[in-house]
Amino acid sequence: MIDQLTSLKPLHPTLYQLASDGTSLDFIFSQCPVCGTVNFPANVPGCSHCGDPLTEAPRLTRPGQGELLEFVTIHVPLIPDMQAPTIAGDIRIADGIVEEGVIGVKDESGLRTGMTLKAIAEVREAQGVYACVFVPMNEEVAT
């Protein structure tokens, strides 16, 4: 997995990068230099708390993970290249920051709200990229 990924680029380089284990993703945040609030994505136009433009804000990376708040199975492709069915969820990746993500499990039976998910790289060889997919914390690679 690691060797394969080194030549691949993140599909959304402003949001995440490959973690040192070669499988997990680190999320990229910016920390407001005025009030200290952590913002995501890092390139938001202003701090969500105080409105500072964040032009001087340092980036910080954290392991991509979060709490599953809710999820739903989508049976119709909503965008090109989307597989159906796909399970999508709202995941709290940091205090006050909820992102929608794809959950890489076959069906909902192993999911429950409140569980911790982690972000891993989903290789899309043909496009030369890896994308972000969430899986339950203790599972390895999505199938």
Per CB under 5 A, residues contacting Zn ion are: 32, 34-35, 37, 47, 49-50, 52
Here the contacts of 105-109 (C-beta below 8 Å, separation 24 or greater) are 105/135, 105/136, 105/139, 105/142, 106/143, 107/73, 108/71, 108/73
Q: Indicate the residue among 54 and 121 with the shorter CB distance to Zn ion.
A: 54
Least distance from Zn ion to the Cβ atom of residue 31, Å:
9
Least distance from Zn ion to the Cβ atom of residue 111, Å:
34
Least distance from Zn ion to the Cβ atom of residue 55, Å:
12
| HSE-CB of 33 using CA atoms within 13 angstroms | 7
Q: Indicate the residue among 50 and 69 with the shorter CB distance to Zn ion.
A: 50
